[in-house]
Structure 1
């Protein structure tokens, strides 16, 4: 990701942290915890995470790990985020869980570990000066996944774009994903402004 894009994101979250200190979901940019967890529920319903190695790109505070802990037991969880304050709090919160690791860095350029399932919830919504950014990240996610990739994006048909956030056409994204993986699913029945793509590798 371009340095100026990263700076815009950092400033945005710094301001959200000032506004919503103590509220994980809103400091991350979600409208509410319910909105954040609705995405998590959609992801968890699409793929079985039990006993899997999970790579969470744009992990924030590790809230998806907290969500998974309520319903299953993953083999390992690795979260990646460029916001140092998020990673610091995540490491502190999960310090007693040996199956957790957190990496501070831009997941579009950081060397990533492989995992059974690669997830990105909300973290691909930011606008990029590089027009091929999202396609490259999706390809990298697919390369790093042994079993499946699950990510969500803002729906261009319902979401009004901003200077920071970019929306996408669900069918166009699905078409690109199908060019990489023949087993893809589009899920768009849980929120008007959002859609989820699942890419499953054939065993």
Structure 2
């Protein structure tokens, strides 16, 4: 039995969408457990590549990091090897995903939380989001912008996010692929200090937003 993937429908309220998508991931975890399929992720190698992009964007050692859509908190493991002393906080909308993450990493601060409706606390030096936008549906661009704006408001140093790209040679039907040019234009309205990457996976891009001059 497959678990149907249903992006946000036109006119669907954000609250209803968050509950339904959280339920989608609950169903995936019920079927696959703490496997990459349980978070609807392609595989360990693509995860590693995206984590490298995130870790290379900021000097994260000793910083407080908010991971939006944290899944099983795999990023915390990666950063522990690359950037010692990271103060990691993970938020997600799926109860079952978070239950598995807490079982695996009971030492972490992991919360069920919608950042558009609730305060995750803070302050956070850096806010990250890895591939969370693909189910945003027909109103994906507006919803993505709301999330990016909120993440930037929560950070002291900057934000880095990855997204499926509309420049991809092949696209999965029903998934939201953001336009990289329009996304960067929106981000330029938040800060003039940006980095853009479209060189690491053929279907993916990353944007880093900095509050000050880009570190070298």
Q: TM-score, normalised by structure 2?
A: 0.84
1:154 is the counterpart of 2:164: yes
Picking from 194, 200, 206, the partner of 1:184 is 194
Alignment partners' CA distance in 1, 2:150 and 2:71:
20
1:10 is the counterpart of 2:57: no
Residue of structure 1 in register with 2:5 after alignment: none
Residue of structure 2 in register with 1:144 after alignment: 154
Alignment partners' CA distance in 2, 1:34 and 1:12:
24
Alignment partners' CA distance in 2, 1:123 and 1:93:
21
Q: Is the 8 A contact 1:154 1:195 kept in 2?
A: yes
Picking from 107, 122, 126, the partner of 1:117 is 126
Alignment partners' CA distance in 1, 2:127 and 2:37:
23
Cα RMSD (Å): 1.9
Q: Secondary structure at the match of 1:168?
A: coil
Aligned residues: 198
Picking from 183, 205, 212, the partner of 1:195 is 205
Deviation at 1:74, TM superposition (A): 3.1
Residue of structure 2 in register with 1:20 after alignment: 32
Alignment partners' CA distance in 1, 2:135 and 2:27:
16
Alignment partners' CA distance in 1, 2:207 and 2:160:
6
Residue of structure 1 in register with 2:59 after alignment: 48
Runs (5+) with no aligned partner, structure 2: 1-12
Residue of structure 2 in register with 1:170 after alignment: 180
Q: Map 1:68-87 onto structure 2 (within 5 A).
A: 68-87=79-98
Deviation at 1:138, TM superposition (A): 0.6
Q: TM-score, normalised by structure 1?
A: 0.89
- Cα distance 1:15–1:89, how it changes in 2: closer, same or farther (>3 A)? closer
Alignment partners' CA distance in 2, 1:18 and 1:103:
19
Residue of structure 1 in register with 2:43 after alignment: 32
Q: Is the 8 A contact 1:2 1:129 kept in 2?
A: no
Alignment partners' CA distance in 2, 1:81 and 1:62:
10
Residue of structure 1 in register with 2:115 after alignment: 107
Alignment partners' CA distance in 1, 2:86 and 2:78:
15
Alignment partners' CA distance in 1, 2:157 and 2:54:
14
Alignment partners' CA distance in 2, 1:104 and 1:11:
13
Q: Is the 8 A contact 1:81 1:107 kept in 2?
A: no
Q: Secondary structure at the match of 1:147?
A: strand
